[in-house]
Amino acid sequence: MANAESAPTLNSLGFAKPAAETRVLVAMSGGVDSSVVAAQLAEEGYDVIGITLQLYDHGAALAKKGACCAGQDIHDARRVAERVGFPHYVLDYETAFRDAVIEEFADSYLAGATPVPCIRCNERVKFRDLLETAKDLDADCMATGHYIQRKLGPNGPELHCATDSARDQSYFLFSTTPEQLDYLRFPLGHLPDKTATRRLAAKYGLPVADKPDSQDICFVPEGNYASVIEKLRPGAVEAGEIVHADGRVLGTHDGVIHYTIGQRRGLGIGGLAEPLYVVRLDVETRQVVVGPKEMLASRRVPVREVNWLGDAALASRETWDVSVKIRSTRPPRAAVLRPLSDTEAEVELLDPEEGVSPGQACVFYESGGTRVLGGGWIWKGR
């Protein structure tokens, strides 16, 4: 009786063929992370193509440090490709980026929300448009420098937090769909820390080995959101009143967009006995509503546009015990997820969270585990 055929050997990207016959498109921002991914895969013998997206005005970005996807960063990505020896292309996605990310960012701020444009960029530009470009180039997969892990589970690919919790980017990737996850690869997610990445960059002799990490939102210089909104929507910013939650008028402001939920400093209403925080932004009346800290606590969080990555359908249960993140910088906290449909749900936090604001993401995690179960967008007040 003939022996059963052994299972085919998979390469490091999960394909049953040699690395040299596996084409991978690497999304290169010009930073050290994606540069290391490209160099590592090229060293392993893969057919690497580097793509950098020009997302906003090239000339204006040349002098801006701490951003990505323009000016110096495009130059740096090209230098890495030349150093390692693989083809590199720059694609002009400026119009797509403006339409899919920047315009919504401006509208959300003017509506009193606190948007997270990096999530929309991943969702609508990098993991949608660029991913389609990768397929058009007959790439077997697309790799990025994000710190997150893709693991194979019993029902297919799963999204998991990075090994290094300090670098984990799962909050910004919750809207990755199962179909996208099947095509994506994240080679850095298992590394213990950023130092390990920089050591690899030095090993490959990359010119960006010591390049600082990007900090700001790429199209928002120095984190000044208000100035960007004023340029995008001239005349849309109107003055109004700063009002205590009990109805007292405490002062005036130059525009709701200058304030965020939870803000305490810079309110311009000093001399009061109690510390006050922004608890609500009322765009219709142009009021910034302030109150004591306890008013910031939220227990119930409504979300919509839910992207679900669990094995069973979201609405197949009345409740899910999960952990959630309301902000990227805060640790997950225990919650109960109550589906209202396949795309809407209510999250009940076991312990109240301060500063929950419409426009933020609420990301769901497996309770006590590392798996990302999806997430949604917070869309109305408490």
Instruction: Show which residues are catalytic.
Output: 121, 218
CB 163 within 8 A of CB 153: no
The pair of structure tokens assigned to 285 is: 């009346």
C-alpha count within 13 angstroms, C-beta hemisphere, residue 247: 0
The pair of structure tokens assigned to 295 is: 């008013």
The pair of structure tokens assigned to 42 is: 């090229």
Residue 214 backbone class (left: φ over 0; alpha: ψ -120 to 50; beta: rest): beta
Please compute Rg for the chain using Cα positions: 23
Q: Whose CA is closest to 258, among 228, 232, 217?
A: 228
- Cα dihedral sign for 360, 365, 176, 147? positive
CA distances in angstroms from 298 to 28, 148, 261, 357, listed in the order given: 39, 28, 12, 10
Facing residues of 47 across strands? Answer: 23
